[in-house]
Amino acid sequence: MRVLTGIQPSGDLHIGNYFGSIKQMVEAQSQNQTFAFIANYHAMTSVNDGKRLGELTMQCATDFLALGIDPEKSVFWVQSDVKEVLELYWTLSSFTPMGLLERAHSYKDKTAKGFATNHSLFSYPVLMAADILLFNSNVVPVGKDQIQHVEIARDIAIKFNNQYGDILTIPEFKVQEEVATVPGIDGQKMSKSYGNIVNIFGDEKSQLKTIKKIVTENVSVEEPKEYETCNVYNMAKLFLEGDNLKALQERYRRGGEGHGHFKIYLAEVMWEYFREYREKREYFEKHQNEVREILKNGADKAREIAMPTIEKIRSVSGISY
Ligand code: ATP
Ligand code: MG
């Protein structure tokens, strides 16, 4: 089974990225052929400071390696190092009805939030379809926000195959229900570009500062509190299981503690959870050349795997002549 995931280097990686996608990917590595890439072309839709995009790309690669993407097990590369993806993107554009893109929630959400509406933001799902289809991926682990994009990739692949035969593998999304949408500090979907994140690798002090800003219900300390709807709880539960989770629920039910206490607890469990990853990150931070080497080898491998598909597509679509 081929499993593929991509993350945009559009800002610091956050706990939504981790639980919605990276963690599932790391776990899939033992039993599948896994493909993980840094989606720097996608990030151009929101980052147009070139220096920053370059830096964020290396930062994101360093984070990925620290979080457990293993270059021995996974093909791991930067999107722009396999330029054939842009060729496929263009080819697929001709199999993408405008209506399909006009219905995309992510585009509608971003425009509603006042982001500049470039063509790149509009056609983003076609590039994502190319990312997925270029590697004949079977499964794409995503957060709930990306389900529709994988469905668009399926639709495009089906249209292409109807025209030219069984060339593209029809992908499926995989969502882990408990972490489908991790809330941000304002209660909306946590997103790099919304400025509402709790990042994975911040320093302890600034992380606590961010966590203290999480929006909570205004109730007195004494009162029992609802945990299902609490943003702090919905983040904390990601790091807890079994008795620890039950104990936290009990603290909400019992009352006598304010949200400030739960926030401090969240900061503590999170800090512990990522401890070993922070140590690994320090290593890669000091060995950036090793990271570059890993990315280069990954791109070579990715291109080798993509070429037969690209050649078939060139042939059937008449681009090879
Ligand atoms: P941007 O704001 O630039 O779109 P993002 O934070 O949404 O950034 P992406 O790079 O778009 O992150 O998404 C990377 C992966 O993380 C995708 O699989 C996406 O579904 C998942 N993901 C992003 N945000 C969340 C979230 N809040 N909860 C669960 N999964 C998420
Ligand atoms: Mg996103």
CATH code 3.40.50.620 region(s) in the chain: 2-182+287-317
Burial label, 12 (beta-carbon count in 10 A; 0-12, 13-18, 19+): middle
- Considering the entire predicted model, what is its pTM? 0.93
Q: pLDDT tens digits for 33-76?
A: 999 999 999 999 889 999 999 999 999 999 999 999 999 999 99
CATH code 1.10.240.10 region(s) in the chain: 202-273
CATH superfamily label, 202-273: Tyrosyl-Transfer RNA Synthetase (1.10.240.10)
Q: pLDDT tens digits for 237-272?
A: 999 999 999 999 999 999 999 999 999 999 999 999
With a 6 Å cutoff on the Cβ, whether 182 touches ligand 1 is: yes
> Dihedral of CA 43/78/130/183: which sign?
negative
Backbone angles phi, psi at 140, to 5 degrees: -125, 105
pLDDT at 106: 84
Ligand nearest to the CA of 231: 1
Ligand nearest to the CA of 46: 1
With a 6 Å cutoff on the Cβ, whether 145 touches ligand 1 is: yes
Strand 172-174 and strand 33-38: the pairing is unpaired
Give the nearest ligand 1 atom to 43 CA.
3
CA distance 266 to 198: 11
Which amino acid residue places its CA nearest to atom 7 of ligand 1?
A: 191
CA distance 5 to 317: 27
> Rounded to the nearest 10 degrees, what angle do helices 259-273 and 275-286 cross at?
50
- Ligand 2 centre to CA of 191 (Å) is 6
- pLDDT band, residue 111 (cuts 50/70/90): confident
Q: What is the mean pLDDT of residues 175-188?
A: 92
Q: pLDDT tens digits for 187-229?
A: 999 998 889 999 999 999 999 999 999 999 999 999 999 999 9
Domain 2-182+287-317 fold: Rossmann fold (3.40.50)
